[in-house]
A = this chain, B = another copy of it.
Amino acid sequence: MQLQYLRVFSHIEAVARAGSIRKAAEALFITPSALDRRVQDLEAELGVALFERHARGMRLTAAGEVFLHHVRAQRADFERVQTEIELLKGVRRGAVGIAASQALAYSVLPEVINGFRAANPGISFKVHICDRQAVVASLRAFEADLGLVYNVQPAGDLTLLMQVEQRLCAVMADGHPLAAQVSVKMRDCVRFPLALPDPSLGGRAILDGFFARSSLQPNVVLESNSFEMLRNYVRGNDAISFQVQVGTPLARVQDGVTARAIEERAFPRQPLTVAQLKGRHLPQPAVRFLASLRDAL
C-alpha cells in the first residue's frame, strides 16, 4: 500500500537506486520527462540539488543522502502508524521485518516465529538472512525492524535491545562415534576432519579465539559461508562442524545430523545481539515479537 501523496518520495528513491532517470522511469512505468520534472520540482522546493548530474546518470549529493534517509524513516514510521490504526480497528495485523545472521535460520527463528504466530495469527514476517554488514544496512535502510547478529561492531546509530551469551556446539552425523557421548571435548573433535564456518559467519570468531590459545591442530577440510552446506556435508562422513547453540534442544536428530555440547567452559563467549536503528519507533508487532524472543532465549 502506498499513499498517493508520497509518490514523489518513492520516485526519489527509485532514481537513487537505478542511478539514472531513464532506468528509474522504466521501473516506475512513467516517462523520463515526467520523472525528471518531479525531481526538479522537489529540488526547487527544497532549494538544494539532490543529485549530481553526471554524463552516465545521477548520483545522490550529500543533501540527497540526508533527504533519502528521511524519506525512508518517514515511510517506515507511516507503516508503523498504519498497523497502529489496524490495531485500533481490532484487527491484529501487521508485519515484522527481521534481518538476521545465517545461524539463526536453522532453528531459532523458525521456532520462535512459529510460536509467536500461534498466538498472533495476523502478524506476518519478512526474514532476510544475510551477513553482518547487510544486517546493519537493512536496519539503516528501514527494511528491517529488528537485526539479529553476532559479533556486532558497536555502531553509533544502533540501539542494542538484548544480548544473549552464546556457546558453540559440535555438529556431526547421527551415527558418528562422538555422538555416543552426551558432550564432547575439543581435544576429541580435532581427531576428526573439521568443517568450519568461514570468517563471514558468527561462530568462526569463537573458534579462531579458541585455536589461537590452544595447541590443538585442527584438520580443516571444508570452509563455507553456509551453515546448511556444512550440516549437509558432515552427514555423509565423520567430519565435525560447529554451530552456535541458541536455546535449541541439543540432542535432537534432524535429517541425520545431531549436535553435542562442548565441554570446555573457557571458550571465548560471543553474544548474540538484537538491535534496532536508534531513535526508531518500532511497530507494535515488532515490540511484541521482541518480548517473545526474550522469553525464548
- Taking Cβ atoms with an 8 Å cutoff, the residues of A that contact B are 1, 3-9, 41, 45-46, 48, 62-63, 66-67, 70, 73-74, 77-78, 81-82, 84-85, 88-89, 279, 281
Report B-chain residues with C-beta under 8 Å of the C-beta of A41: 4
- 30 A-B pairs with CB atoms under 8 Å apart are A1-B45, A3-B45, A4-B45, A5-B5, A5-B6, A5-B7, A5-B8, A5-B9, A46-B82, A46-B85, A48-B85, A48-B88, A48-B89, A63-B85, A63-B88, A63-B89, A66-B81, A66-B84, A66-B85, A66-B88, A67-B85, A70-B77, A70-B78, A70-B81, A73-B77, A74-B74, A74-B77, A74-B78, A279-B279, A279-B281
In the bound complex, residues from chain B placing their C-beta under 8 Å from that of A63 are: 85, 88-89
Name the B residues within 8 Å of A8 (CB-CB).
Answer: 5
* Measured CA separation A41–B4 after assembly (Å): 9
Between A5, A6, A62, A78, the greatest number of chain B beta carbons within 10 A of the residue's beta carbon is seen for A5
Closest to A89 in B: B48
Expressed in whole angstroms, the Cα–Cα distance for A67 and B48 within the complex equals: 29
What is the bound-complex CA distance between A267 and B5, given in angstroms?
57
Q: How far is the CA of A82 from the CA of B84 in the complex (A)?
A: 28
List B contacts of A73 (CB < 8 A): 77
The CA-CA distance from A9 to B5 in the complex, in Å, is 9
The interface residues of chain B lying within 8 Å CB-to-CB of A5 are 5-9
Complex CA distance for A62 and B63, rounded to whole angstroms: 36
The residue in chain B whose Cβ has the minimal distance to the Cβ of A8 is B5
A48-B85, A70-B81, A74-B78 given; 6 more Cβ-contact pairs under 8 Å: A5-B5, A46-B82, A46-B85, A62-B88, A66-B81, A66-B88
Closest to A70 in B: B81
Minimum CB distance partner of A63 in chain B: B85
Chain B residues with CB below 8 A from A3, complex form: 45
Of all chain B residues, which has the CB nearest A48? B85
